[in-house]
Each structure stands twice: as C-alpha cells, then as structure tokens.
Amino acid sequence: MNIFARWRLLSLLLALLASLPAVQAQGVTKSTLDRIREHGAIYVGHRETAIPFSYMIGNDVVGYTMDLCDRIVDAVREKSAIPTLKVVRVPVTGSSRMLMLLTGAIDLECGVTTNTKIRQQMVAFSFTTFVSGVKAMVRTDVGIDRIPDLAGKVVVTTVGTTTDRLVNSVMTVRGITIRAKSAPTQEAFSMVLSRQADAFVMDDAILSGFLASSPDRPKLKLLEENFGFEPYGIALRKDDPDFKKLIDDTLSGMMKSGEMERIYNKWFMSPIPPKNINLQIPMSGMLKELFRSPNDTGI
C-alpha cells in the first residue's frame, strides 16, 4: 500500500471513528456468507509485521494465523459454492482492526488479536488458536532482570492493544510506578534499542519474532516472568452464528485431525521466512488442552 493509499485509508477510518456510535447501532445487516456470495469475494484482514502470525514478505502475506484463515477460506469457498472465490487481503493495524470489522471493510481479522470480554461487546471470536504470555523485552546492559526492576522506568506498549491495561493492572497490584508510553509495534521495538524506553511489553511470541529477525538480538533479552496470558482468536462480526459455526467447525476439525499442531510446528518449531530462523517455542500445555477442548472464552 503506497503512502497516498494509506492517507486515504486513514482519512476514512477517522471519519468512521467519528460516527462509531451510529455504526455500532446500525451494524452490517446482511450475513457475512450472503455478502460473500453477493460480491464473489472474501475480505481478509492481516497484519504486516506480526511475525510469525501474520506478516508480509514482499507482496505475500504469510504466517500461522494466515494458514488457519486459508483453511477457513477453503471452507467458505465450499459452503458458498463459489470455486473462483476471490480473496482480498486488507492490511489492518491494532487501532483499525475492530472498526474495519464493524463497518464491513473486512470479513475476518487474521492477525494477533486477544479475545477479551470488552471486545466481545463489539465483535465475535473463533475458538482460541494461540495462548501468549506477556513479557518485557529489555536491553541486556541496563540491569533489569525482574518486573520490580521496572520501577521508575519508561515502559512502552503497542498502541491499540490490551497490553497497556494489563501492565497497569500488574504494576498497581505490586505497588510499582512506571512511566508508561505507547507506540506502533515497530516504533516501540526501536525505542528500546535507541534508549528512549527501558522496556517494551508485548506478547512473547511476537517479541520472539522481532528478536529472531533483528541484527541487534545480542543486545536484547526477554524477562522470564510473565505479566499474564492472553488467548488469541480470529475476529469476526457479532450476531452471525452461521459464519462463526463455519469458522469454529473448521478449526475444531483441524485440532482433532492434528493439522493445527502441524501448522503450529511449521511456524514455531521450524525455520521460517524470510531469514529461516527457528523461534523454538514448543506448544504449551495450556494450548494443547484448548485443542482437546476448544472454546472461545475471553479474558
């Protein structure tokens, strides 16, 4: 997407944001499957830099969540009886993704979205596809080894995510005062490297992806302690039970057949593009249990 297209999208989103209460009240009246049949296309939201879940290599969008959504698209293609169904990939951000679902700009959000009870008031979620620990990334030369060491430090989180609320909650409970900031993910990562921030708190799998692809990896580390755990799901519009059932049936079938685990191992236990680095993140016991008994419970 060139700079002019980005400005047009930003202007549209700002205009939609101003009218959000009306948008939420009116909603998208036609079912997702009916819209897909009408347009002969499905609009799939994706992230651009969320390694290994949803990211771009050249003009291609790849990742763990994208592989899952490709299987869902196959199921939609069969259900809608449109063999030539067009797949339109639409870049989204942490700030724009919910609004783009609400307004019908995308039909699926295939990124790294935490299923929360607050978000469930606006959108629906598939069965949980991943459980992430939330950790802090710091420089190795600043003497920060535990969460209490962040007292008085500049801690940055990604704008538009649930992490800032989680960090504030943990710090309040522990009686720790920090200087909190937020920024886009790539900028937040750079802030730690440039010493504008002392720590970047984010989901551990995404931080591992950044570290794996960064030439500055030896200068950085993740703290061992988690701030908490967050379940990821594929987001879709609310009040569309047929579409949600299709998504959940597809995912549960993949979980039972072992396909989901194979896709997991492809992205978390094997070399991945573009640098063929292995993240080496074994599947947690929590996620294994969710694959045995799928649910869409949020936090």
Question: CATH code at 174?
Answer: 3.40.190.10
Q: Are residues 164 and 75 in the same domain?
A: no
Top pLDDT among 135 and 159 is at: 135
Residue 28: per-residue pLDDT: 65
The last residue of one of the domains, among 229, 249, 280, is 229
Average of per-residue pLDDT across 196-219: 92
pTM assigned to the model: 0.83
> 220 with 287, same domain?
no
- pLDDT tens per residue, range 212-257: 888 999 999 999 999 999 999 999 999 999 999 999 999 999 999 9
pLDDT of residue 161: 85
User: Considering the domain boundaries, does residue 86 fall inside one?
Assistant: yes
**Which residue bears the tokens 């886009």?**
184
Q: Given a cut of 70, is residue 3 above it in pLDDT? A: no
Domain final residue pick, 209, 229, 249: 229
Domain span at residue 21 reads 3-129+233-292
Indicate if 125 and 38 belong to the same structural domain. yes
Out of 214, 229, 244, pick the residue that ends a domain: 229
Structural domain contains residue 287: yes
**DSSP code per residue over 21-36:** HHHHHH---S-HHHHH
pLDDT per position as a tens digit, 170-185: 999 999 999 999 999 8
220 in the same domain as 203: yes
Which pairs from 264-268 meet CB under 8 Å and 24+ separation? Answer: 264/64, 266/64, 266/67, 267/52, 267/53, 267/63, 267/64, 267/67, 268/52, 268/64, 268/205
Say whether pLDDT at 4 is over 60.
Answer: no
pLDDT of residue 27: 54
**Is the residue at 298 inside a domain?**
no
288 and 144 fall within a common domain? no
Q: Are 119 and 243 part of one and the same domain? A: yes
Asked whether residue 57 falls in the same domain as residue 102, the answer is yes
Residue 297 lies in a domain: no
Which stretch of DSSP H or E encloses residue 260? helix 259-268
Question: Looking at the domain assignment, is residue 147 inside a domain?
Answer: yes
CB atoms within 10 A of CB 149: 17
Whole-number pLDDT of residue 11: 47
pLDDT band at 160 (very low <50, low <70, confident <90, very high): confident
Within a domain: 89? yes
> What is the model's pLDDT at position 250?
98
Mean pLDDT, to the nearest integer, of 156-181? 93
At 84, which amino acid appears? T
- Verify that 116 and 140 share a domain, yes or no: no
Q: Are residues 249 and 101 in the same domain?
A: yes
Whether residue 299 is contained in a domain is answered as: no
In whole angstroms, what is the distance from residue 11 CA to residue 106 CA?
Answer: 17
Q: Is residue 193 part of a domain?
A: yes
% of the chain at pLDDT higher than 90: 83
